[in-house]
Structure 1
Amino acid sequence: MGVLPRLCSCSDLSSQGATAVTTSDLVGLRIKTVRRQRGLSQAQLAHPELSDSYVSLIESGKRTPTPAVLELLAQKLDCSLSYLINGVTAEQMEDIELALGYARLALENGEVVEARNRFAELLVNNNLTGLTALRQETEFGLALANEACGDLAEATSILLRLREEELPPDRRIEVAMVLCRVYRESERLTEAVEVGERMLMGNARLPWTDALVELAATLLAAYMERGDLLRARQFAAELLNAADALGTPRSIVAANWNASNVAYTTGHVEESLAFAERALAVQLENGQPRNIARMRLAYLRKRLKARPAEIESVRDALRAAVAEFEQTSTSTIDRGHLNVDLALTEFLSGDYDKAAEHARLGRDLVPEFGHVLGAEANLLLGRIHGAVGRSEEAAEYVASVRDWLAPLPDSRRSASTWYATAETMEQLGDTEGAVESYRRALACVGL
């Protein structure tokens, strides 16, 4: 099929006198523009299949051509069907899809900054304007890339904009799931719960699917972090039943992993490991590299608490995970968690230099004074310096924990970190600071 010397873009068409054009207007204007460039009259374009009056109505936007008519006109005009529909030639469409594929690949390979740049560059391509599905997919990819880079505010902004658009059902669920997760990662637990419940418990309860089980699992995590453990236990049981009924790898992983989290949070640690091992076994066979890496890290964290005698084995596995995390699309916050967890095992194993190195790396990977993980890293640095007799530096690190925690909303995780801070301050002789931290811990759980 021939290529026109110059095909006008949507912006060209809208500048030809139309202030507010519809899709039919744009299609008609493209047909008229290409017809004139080909030197054809309306009658010549119409003959013999159509009437020239019908072509006139299409070109003026007063009739919407059927797919069959559009295909016929594209053949007669010797241009691509995609150009008539979207204002994009077949070659331009191929370029867009190739660029989108490279951006997705960068995200999957852990090149999160590169992925973010590629998605952002694609969004400024004028040819993407009329391609709603591809533009939405690009914006969703940009939100994921921003999340992976640790820019949770920008990820939230993009997802909120997308949520207001007309989206396919599966994409709407995906947007809700990621938005719920990003709110949770931002410690905005009330909003995380509202997003999940709005999708799952609307006017018409949807039948369970893999996507809905994963969304529900994300909501379940928000319930736990908010301290609603009774609701979490009930919901976990419901998800396990749904996953058993579906029998799909995605639903089994999501339901069992989050049942593991509930059991762990409520003190049933060995039961938690059993659920986690089932989820991890299925994930290893079917999952994405990023999800496998994140799940393995969380499993090792649980295993360390349940079986402290296995600390050396856990530490070695965490060391190996550093390379795995660098090769997958884990976020900067994921890598922060890995380094802080590794710092803890190095500390418990007596290697204080390595412990301090990884604690600093983990802290520097999260937004300053905007994440509990930064507080946990500084608290660990305080304990490390205290263990080697550097009390003054230890006290400074522990005191700085308050700067990290103070801006955050109350949550169970914040309460736990305030309590650990109070205990460490007490050990360092800071009685006044310990009392204040105990008070903050109680306030976080509503006491």
Structure 2
Amino acid sequence: MPSQGTIGDRVRGLRLSRRMSQAQLAGPDLSDSYVSLIESGKRTPTPVVARLLAERLGCTTEFLLHGIEPRQRIDTELGLRHAELELQHGDPSVAAERFGEIVKVAGEENAMLAAHARLGRARSLESQGKLGPAVEAFERLRREAAAHPERLADLPLTVALSRCYQRAGDTLRAHDLAAHALAQVNRLALTQGEIAVDLAASLVETESGRSPHSPGLAYVQRILSVNGVPAAVNRTAEIHSLWQASIAAAEGEDSALAVRLADDAIATGRPARMAFRLARIAMEWARLTAALGEQSLDEAGKLAASASEVFAKFPDRAYEHAKSLVVLAYVQLRSGDADKAAHLAQSALDALNNQASPVAATAHLVLAEVALARGEDNAAAILHSACQLLDALRPGLSAPDREVARVWRELGDLYGRVGAGEEQMSAYRRALETAGVRSAMVGVTVDSALVR
């Protein structure tokens, strides 16, 4: 059965295969000129007309409108849902493969499903850290959204691109895209839902170092005010149970039930996903505002503590939990409670088993600041431990990493406070290198603001 191209292509292909004229297809109900307009793509048949044409052409209405039969369509819809579950609760690389397979199955005959599958694949690439291919995929989708707004919305693609460019080190492009998205959500007065929260997550990164009163960070603050950091319940076992039940239903050829179960699994995981996103925003907001000293430290502490409570309930979020503990330790240190700061920093290191990471290195920086505040003489040794942890990360850094660069810069600041000038200069150079700036200016004083 011909399935290529548009609705008009399918009508014409089926008509010719049945050796019918346009007048014969039109019958007593339609005009042959109207059939001609449909075949040329100048008219789209109404549901009533589509049913009439499908009956005369000997096909289903679903095939005529979408290019695939109902069973094939529901199987494709099910494939999309299982790929989405793989992305959210399984292996992103497997999800990328499954989304890619759906693109091939859907083809251009079912442009809507194909577009959503390409979007899923782009998100899977981003989740794997393959930022270059992810950016290419999102850019293609954004061009498609401009040409076919009925298939994809531009706003979530703009937010995703801003996030990817920021993580890839192109901060100017990331900032421009975030500003464009911010103008759209302000026009819509949008402060709730996934798009608003995703934009706030992007803005808290792209606006880092700016005043909390900048438009971007003001929007972040509004999102936190409206949504808060909701408590999260660990329903991972329930999600996987529903997912497996959906797979079993599909194997039993009960596709409709399989889709329903997959939808239930996705919906069950949504509250925790939103809580994670808002917790990350709150954690970064607490760190930024505490560093800038332009917001109540009590408020920053509450945000960091709320984030920590969310991540603590999920064993697979141990790294983010440790990160939230370090942010909370940093806030406590700024509040003058050195003992609590030291306890929280040590708890973070215990959670990480002292494995090399930016978070572990930052925890050591907090401990070094505590030592300085207490007048102890072991601050230099603690900073040396942080330096070793950062050095251990070098082989794995294949692209600029602003988080690691920031920790190198903070290490340089603290080396300056203990009077280790040579180590301070080395740390600042490493900060520039890690941020993507290669400097041969040996012996030249580096302004630490450059890597903020």
TM bracket, shorter-chain basis: 0.5 to 0.7
Residue identity matched to 1:70: A
- Name the residue aligned to 1:445: 449
Give the 3-state SS of the residue equivalent to 2:144 in structure 1.
Answer: coil
- Choose which of 270, 286, 289 in structure 2 pairs with 1:263: 289
- Name the residue aligned to 2:101: 121
- Give a deviation string over 1:338-387, Cα, whole Å, max 9, x none: x65468779999xxxxxxxxxxxxxxxxxxxxxxxxxxxxxx9994599x
Q: Is the 8 A contact 1:261 1:272 kept in 2?
A: yes
- Structure 2 CA distance, aligned partners of 1:135 and 1:61? 20
Q: How does 1:229-248 map to 2 (within 5 A)?
A: 231=214, 234-240=218-224, 243=227
Q: Is the 8 A contact 2:135 2:161 kept in 1?
A: yes
- Give a deviation string over 1:268-320, Cα, whole Å, max 9, x none: 655323023446768999xxx8997776454233234433214565456557x
Residue identity matched to 2:2: C
Q: How does 1:42-441 map to 2 (within 5 A)?
A: 42-61=22-41, 63-125=43-105, 127-166=106-145, 167=149, 171-201=153-183, 205-210=187-192, 211=194, 213-228=196-211, 231=214, 234-240=218-224, 243=227, 253=278, 256=282, 259-266=285-292, 270-278=298-306, 296-305=321-330, 306=332, 307-311=341-345, 313-315=347-349, 317=351, 341=359, 383-384=384-385, 398=391, 408=400, 414-420=405-411, 432=422, 434-438=424-428
- Structure 2 CA distance, aligned partners of 1:9 and 1:205? 41
- Structure 1 CA distance, aligned partners of 2:393 and 2:344? 32
Q: Is the 8 A contact 1:42 1:56 kept in 2?
A: yes
Q: CA deviation at 1:144?
A: 1.3
Q: CA deviation at 1:194?
A: 0.9
- Give a deviation string over 1:31-87, Cα, whole Å, max 9, x none: 232234446554543334224454355345564433321122113323122322232
What's the C-alpha RMSD, in Å, of the aligned pairs?
Answer: 4.8
Q: CA deviation at 1:143?
A: 1.5
If the length of structure 1 is used for normalisation, what is the TM-score? 0.63
> How many residue pairs end up in the alignment?
363
Give the 3-state SS of the residue equivalent to 1:275 in structure 2.
Answer: helix
Residue identity matched to 2:188: L
Residue identity matched to 1:153: G
Residue identity matched to 1:217: A
Do the aligned partners of residues 381 and 89 (structure 1) sit closer, same or farther apart at CA in structure 2, a change above 3 Å counting? Answer: farther
Q: Is the 8 A contact 2:312 2:321 kept in 1?
A: no
Structure 1: stretches of 5+ with no match in the other structure: 1-6, 14-25, 320-335, 350-379, 387-393
Q: What percent of counterpart residues are identical?
A: 25
Which range moves more in the overlay, 53-62 or 173-182?
53-62
Q: Is the 8 A contact 2:311 2:321 kept in 1?
A: no
- Structure 1 CA distance, aligned partners of 2:414 and 2:311? 38
- Give a deviation string over 1:147-190, Cα, whole Å, max 9, x none: 11110111111112222233469842222222222222223222
Q: Is the 8 A contact 1:74 1:80 kept in 2?
A: yes
Q: Is the 8 A contact 2:329 2:366 kept in 1?
A: no
Q: CA deviation at 1:425?
A: 11
Q: Is the 8 A contact 2:204 2:285 kept in 1?
A: no
Residue identity matched to 2:178: G
Q: Is the 8 A contact 1:177 1:218 kept in 2?
A: no
Give the 3-state SS of the residue equivalent to 1:182 in structure 2.
Answer: helix
Q: CA deviation at 1:196?
A: 0.9
Structure 2: stretches of 5+ with no match in the other structure: 229-270, 333-340, 368-380, 433-445
- Structure 2 CA distance, aligned partners of 1:381 and 1:142? 43
Q: CA deviation at 1:115?
A: 0.8
- Name the residue aligned to 2:240: none
Give the 3-state SS of the residue equivalent to 1:130 in structure 2.
Answer: helix
Q: CA deviation at 1:198?
A: 0.8
- Structure 1 CA distance, aligned partners of 2:308 and 2:343? 22
